Amino acid sequence: MLRIIATLLLAAAASTTHAATATTGVAFVHGTGHQTNAYADYWQAPMINTVRQGLVNQSNYVVINCDFTQYMWDSRAAGCLAGQLKSFIDSRGITDLVVITHSNGGNVMRWIMSNPSYDSRYPAIISKIRWVNALAPSSAGTPLANAVIAGNVFEGALGWLLGYKSDAVRQQQTSWMAQYNQNNLYGTAGRPALPRGFWDVIGSDVVSAVWSSQAYCGGYSQSVGLEVTQNWLSSCSDGFIECSSAAAAGQVWFYDTSRTGGKVLNHNQSRRACFGLENILKNDL
């Protein structure tokens, strides 16, 4: 309901002239990892190419490639993201930007929106953002990052998902994110609101049964791995992020099953064209 109200208010606030002349673009911001080809390796073509069909000009999209193994404020993380977003906005004349993030990408976007004076490029970017759609954001961190840094069995099991003891993994420890949320980031309980909407899409479970078709979207081996890691998380989780963490910043847009015909989105599936998610994001544009 809040999302519907926000959409109506946004439409009411826009003048007829602005509505006719606004140039909408979409940016895809990946999660933890050092990406050089996030189009193919992180999001994949079915997701990107379906979502951009919601644009008047389907060329007005950008897929970010940055080093998100770094702390969110690092020049190779937020600095890289700011550079690529500013270049996209300027080169395409974007006046209405929808940002789609996944996992730790939401933290990097929150850093930019929470600290406009940190970098001279931030205010211009913030001014163009309509809202951020945060898919499975790690806004309060994850116990699995705690486990990786502690050097226990998760370090080997989660290499494909988190990487190893990078600064981004350290950052996503639950106690560290609590400190950042209290002192450096907006959008969580008791803190100032973010200057633009931050809308959470939350995955609530993992399906890995070999006989279930749900387990194969995005890759069966990833579903099996997330089923294992879910045993160390709360009952409501996507195998990597607990629902409480995904809902910690901004506002909840929807939980998976409410919009996917009852199907759950594990952490890997929430960045892929699974169970109609790509169409939901397309229609949002």
Candidates 114, 118, 119; CA nearest to 129 is 114
Give me the pLDDT at residue 150, please.
81
Token reading at 13: 């606030």
Please state the rounded mean pLDDT for residues 17-32: 81
Give yes or no for residue 257 having a pLDDT over 70.
yes
d(CA 150, CA 59): 44
CATH superfamily of domain region 2-13+23-284: Alpha/Beta hydrolase fold, catalytic domain (3.40.50.1820)
Residue bearing the bigger pLDDT, 12 or 225:
225
Residues comprising the chain, all counted:
285
Mean pLDDT over 69-83 rounds to: 98
* pLDDT tens-digit series, residues 173-214: 999 999 999 999 999 999 999 999 999 999 999 999 999 999
- What was the pLDDT predicted at 228? 85
The DSSP call for residue 272 is: S
- How many angstroms separate the first and last alpha carbons of the chain? 18
**For the chain, percent of residues with pLDDT exceeding 90:** 80
40: left (phi over 0), alpha (psi -120 to 50) or beta: alpha
Token pair in block for residue 102: 């996944």
Q: List the alpha helices (DSSP H) in the chain.
A: 2-13, 16-21, 38, 45-51, 80-92, 105-114, 122-128, 143-150, 154-157, 159-162, 167-171, 174-183, 220-229, 243-246, 256-259, 277-284
Higher pLDDT: 231 or 261? It is: 261
Average pLDDT over residues 84-98: 98
pLDDT value of residue 15 = 38
